Amino acid sequence: MVIARYDLTSEGYTALLDRIVEKFAPQLQPKDWEAIAFGYWENQIYDKGAIAYSRAPQTPLTAYRSARGLHLSGKPGGEQRYRQVVQTYPTSPEAGLALTRLAALAEQPPVASAYLDVLIQNFPDRAPQALLDKSKLMDKMQSTKTAAQLRQTVLVQYPSSEAAAEMRWVYAQERAKAGDFQLAKQWAEPILTNNPDSEIAAQAGFWVGKWHEKLGKSDQAQAIYKRVLTEHPESYYAWRSASMLGWNVGDFNTVRSLNPQINKPGERPSLTAGSPTLKELYQLGQDRDAWAHWQVEFQNRVTPTIAEQFTDGVMRLGVGDNLDGIFMVSNLRDRDRPEDKAAYGQLKQQYAYWQALYPFPYVQEIENWSQQRQLNPMLVTALIRQESRFESKIKSSVGAAGLMQVMPETATFIAKNIKLKEYKLDNPQDNINLGTWYLGHTHAEYNNNSMLAVASYNAGPGAVGGWLAQTKTQDQDEFVETIPYDETRGYVKSVFGNYWNYLRLYNPEISQKIAQVAPDHPTVN
């Protein structure tokens, strides 16, 4: 049980949990079951986690996870347990989540509508999305007047909600598709003001700038691009805005040829939680000893503070657990409680946060092979972060392996071309050698257009060729937004968003330049 509580990432951990449950179940106390449930949950074994949570001390969280675990694993009983959460803990945030799940699972629109009505009445924070979801149900039931009234309620009563931003963006896109750019920007521009924390805001702002340009209003376009950089400096659309403003950041046609200076910080990120001994060990580079100390000190694993979760992510990066380290840091933005949001807002202003979110392992290997393939090293780094989170031994469900997720058959093809007789895909040198050659190959196929090369790296040249043959636009930004594969569309934006963040964090020129328009931007030393 000590291992179950404190060593969740050890080899054979879930097998150990299975053994405990199989051999010692009658002796286990509810708190033991809670620790076992959390261990299963963290390792994404949701069905066993659901069973264990049902035997843990019953709270809104454990009851909800018992339901959610069955739901995620496709096992029966999830809906019944969601209803139990609502009945037992009717005012808890978990009851609101359970009602949302029940509405989505309901097969009959009237049943789903009833769950949404409870949400609207009892959970004000979920009311805007529930109203929007109900409007879609009304559309299906051909109650178009009611649907329109519900959408109007969202816009009028909840203008700062994510649901309102979603609606405005849908209307803006419809108007732009019809060629009415004036009305499109009128729908989209309020998103920047009313919904500054929305993921849609940066996208809407960038396209408002593009639509200003189509209307011949270049000054207004430039002002909007600067606003995107100021308010959303970490976004993919900030890179596109910087490019439109003429900054030396490259565009889809020129990114490959750039060779930006990389200035890695001389100091490690500071830990925000833990004892003085832990912090000293970490700063001395004694990562394994520091990690061992942290396993004892980190008691609040189920509901960690922002400082604790950030420290856990940084500690994981220190011992080479890059996948979970980046996950722990990136998930901080999803916290809902006001105090967590405030703490996260403060953390975001620190360079240490961004350094942990965009680490730079294997920099020597990346620079070496990028130079040989005449590739921008930050583009290669961005692609590796997206493909593997810098996990050299990771394998995908279809067999892609290593840092750049090279398929074995693709590796054979590349090895013949470069006359490489022996290689191992889990070896960083070999993997980056093979992966950068293939990335250079996809660039050559598309006249060094990095957007098409990156899309081809993900979806394959056949798919990209088909999209090019069918596209009706010459605007590359429009092409990205209309990539038919959701995965590839998101992949392209993520890779170039990563590229931009590495550039703004580790290139002194761009870091200083963006600091002039975004005062809170942490600058590289």
Nearest C-alpha neighbor of 406 from the set 383, 373, 422, 382 = 383
End-to-end Cα separation, the chain, in angstroms: 45
Is 213 annotated as catalytic? no
Instruction: Note whether 377 and 362 are within 8 A (CB).
Output: no
Main-chain phi, psi angles of 323, to 5 degrees? -60, -55
Torsion angle defined by CA atoms of residues 452, 458, 462 and 464, in that order, rounded to the nearest 10 degrees: -30
Answer left, alpha or beta for residue 399, where phi above 0 means left and psi between -120 and 50 means alpha: left
Cα angle 28, 33, 35 (rounded to 5 degrees) comes to: 120
Residue type, 297: E
Eight-class DSSP state of 337? S
Burial level of 225, CB count in 10 A (0-12/13-18/19+)? buried
CA atoms within 13 A on the CB side of 100: 16
Instruction: Compute the distance between CA of residue 385 and CA of residue 499 in angstroms, rounded to an integer.
Output: 10
Catalytic residue among 107, 387, 422, 445: 387
Nearest C-alpha neighbor of 326 from the set 390, 278, 282 = 390
Nearest C-alpha neighbor of 374 from the set 450, 436, 321, 323 = 436
Catalytic residue numbers, as ranges: 387
